[in-house]
Each structure stands twice: as C-alpha cells, then as structure tokens.
Amino acid sequence: MATLEIRDLHVSVETKEGAKPILRGVDLTINSGETHAVMGPNGSGKSTLASALMGHPKYEVTAGTVTLDGEDVLAMSVDERAQAGLFLAMQYPVEVPGVSVANFLRTAKTAICGEAPPLRAWGKEVKTAMGNLRIDGSFAERSVNEGFSGGEKKRHEILQLELFKPRFAILDETDSGLDIDALRVVADGVNRALENTDVGVLLITHYTRILRYIRPDFVHVFVDGRIAEEGGPELADRLEVEGYDRYLATAPTTT
C-alpha cells in the first residue's frame, strides 16, 4: 500500500499586489485504492492544491510537507513526480500542435517507466483503452488537444490515466463541461482504473453529479484554503441539498 501524505500545506501565488496566500494549512492523507472527493465553492483552493502537488511553478509552497511513501515530493521536479507515480488530469488541458496523440502517449509512457513499452502489446492496449472510452481510432493521429471538444479533452485525460497506471491520480474538475453521456464514459474510465489497479484518487469537483458514478470513500469540503469538514459519501449527499452557504457564513474574512 502506498500513501500520499499532505501536512500543514500552505501555498501562495504571486499577483500584482504581491504574494497572495491560497492554501492555509491543508492536512490530507490518501492511501492506495481510496477515492477522496474535494468539494467547495469557487476560489476555495481546490485547483491550487492540484497544481501545487504537481509542482506548477506559479504556486509557491511556503510551509508544510508532501510525502509519497516517506519521500519528499516537494523536492522533486515535475517529471520526477510523474515517475514517482503522481498523475494530474488537468481542468484545462493544453494544446500541443504538431505532436500526435499516439506519439505523445508512447513518449510519456516511456518517460514514466524508463523504457519504451513493447510496440505490439502497447498498440493493443491503446486500442482497447480507446474503445472503452468510445474514442475513434483516427483520434490517435490528431495533434494533442488541438481542436478537441471539451468532452474529447477529458476523455484523453482519462485515456492517459488508464494507460499510465499511476499510483495516485489527481482529477481536477474532470466533470467540467461534460454532457451526461460523456460524464458516464469518463466516470466509467475512472472506475476501471480503480478496479484494475491500486490507484488512489483525489477527485476535485464543484458538484455532486460525478459522485453519482464515482462513489468516494471520503469527502473533504474546502473553504478559504482549508478543509472545513470531512466525512463519507453522505457528506456529498448533504451538500447536494444544503450547498456551501453555511460554510461561507462562518469562513474568516481574508484580504
């Protein structure tokens, strides 16, 4: 069993007015095979957590620790974090003109594993994963995310999840912009990864609709850069009814 442990994490972002604190002491532990949903209103720090965990240079960790099986994640470069088993499905996947999906996937798999996957077996694995996600075979020859619809971009992120088999997957608003059919396909992909590997999942979302398909073991409510409440799946059900107003009414005022 692997463990991703976040302790008293503080993160700031540089603005025109100077450094602005976003995360204000986050404690969170994720074990292999667990699904943790992080929910909260806009601006609460959910996506900042995802970016900080993966080493985005825009975000400065000012205090706290992040360890993966005792290893200091914050001391790792971005590629080292990926090789250690961290994966981020981005909220806004970037376009990479001139690089085909097929070349990107095999190059990334090689970088993560340290050696190229056997070509025939890899081709079969990619084809199967694409079929499961209802992705047409011609998709492999398109440039990464260039001209992709929102649903195609999110399916491509989950395709990577299924093929790269990370130890921990951070899914940053994977449900954003998806219609109901695409949401089910994406959720099915995440559930396959959970069933077929020991991946631990940190699922960041505003809404409960994706949690109808991906049932979390734990739910954490983010408000003002902190975890305001934690619970099981029943907490998400309560948020569906009550919303976030009661947390916002008691949140401290920040500048």
Q: Average pLDDT for residues 73-83, to the nearest whole number? A: 96
pLDDT bracket for residue 252 (50, 70, 90): low
User: What confidence score (pLDDT) does residue 251 get?
Assistant: 58
Q: Two tokens at 247? A: 């947390």
How many CB atoms within 10 Å of residue 83?
A: 14
Identity of the amino acid at 30: I
Q: What percent of the chain has pLDDT over 90?
A: 84
Considering the chain, what is the average pLDDT of its residues? 93
Residue burial 2-39, b: 16+ Cβ < 10 Å; e: rest: bbbbbeebbbbbeeeeeeebbbbebebebebebbbbbb
Does pLDDT of 193 surpass 70? Answer: yes
Segment 202-219 shows an average pLDDT of 94
Average pLDDT over residues 32-49: 94
